[in-house]
Amino acid sequence: MQKRKKGLVIAIDGPSGAGKSTVARVLAERLGYTYIDTGALYRAIGWKARQEGIDPADEQAMERLCMEIDVSLANTDGDPGIYVDNQDVSRAIRTPEMGMMASAVSKSPAVRARLLDVQRELGAGGGVVMDGRDIGTVIFPDADVKFYLDASAEERGRRRYRELKDAGLAVDLATITGEILERDHQDSGRDIAPLSRAADALPVDSSRLSIEDVVIGMLAEVAKRREEK
């Protein structure tokens, strides 16, 4: 049975470090919506692959992992928690290594098929802001509002560096920027659901904008779309 929609489905796609998660979280809060961090799902699968010593390129092993894994998102006061087989991995998945693992496992057809259903289920009721790489193109091609958030690679590197440093991780700027570029390359170059801007997504360049400026622009767009409906 189809759930009755409580609100809009808002998709925010874009490359790593563009500020998607920060902006999506604030936007969801202002609208009273649920924030869904789809990258966390890929990170969770990457985490489990690492735990089990599975090579992300070994498709048979990835298929098996996808059949066995129980991955869920739980929102507590707007703070998304992520669980793998009932273990809270919310912090463990936030390392640069898990970002790279997530990008590697996200190429797997089994992983993408498994998470397609999970993500559609999470957004089915509406009233969600989902951020990722293929939300507006593949997961919810009929999303009510779509944004494509980008920023220069230098700025994205600086932001990610600050974020990780603030979280107490020992990181250096050149390495982080290099990883961002490598992930851009992997995420845009993969065969299935590569990172790309949906034709009807509004492009937003956040290089010189504050979080608040980006959110205000997005809220105006959401209000416009609501009026049109």
Residues in touch with ligand DC (CB under 6 A): 16, 38-39, 42-43, 99, 102-103, 106, 132-135, 183, 187
**Which of residues 188 and 224 has its CB atom nearest to ligand DC in the complex?**
188
Q: How far is the CB of 179 from ligand DC (least distance, A)?
A: 10
Q: How far is the CB of 13 from ligand DC (least distance, A)?
A: 7
CA distance 192 to 141: 15
Residue labelled with tokens 């999303």: 143
- Which residues neighbour 54 within 8 Å (Cβ) at sequence distance 6 or greater? 48, 61, 62, 65
**Which of residues 48 and 133 has its CB atom nearest to ligand DC in the complex?**
133
Handedness of CA 131, 137, 142, 148 (dihedral sign): positive
Q: How far is the CB of 70 from ligand DC (least distance, A)?
A: 19
**Which of residues 39 and 218 has its CB atom nearest to ligand DC in the complex?**
39
Handedness of CA 218, 222, 227, 229 (dihedral sign): positive
Q: Convert 40-60 to b/e letters by CB count within 10 Å (16 or more is b).
A: bbbbbbbbbbbeeebebeeee
Contact 52, 65 (CB under 8 A): yes
Q: How far is the CB of 32 from ligand DC (least distance, A)?
A: 23
**Which of residues 117 and 223 has its CB atom nearest to ligand DC in the complex?**
117
**Which of residues 159 and 215 has its CB atom nearest to ligand DC in the complex?**
159
Contact 162, 217 (CB under 8 A): no
Q: How far is the CB of 4 from ligand DC (least distance, A)?
A: 25
**Which of residues 102 and 128 has its CB atom nearest to ligand DC in the complex?**
102
Q: How far is the CB of 46 from ligand DC (least distance, A)?
A: 8
CA distance 162 to 173: 9
Phi, psi dihedrals of residue 111, rounded to the nearest 5°: -65, -45
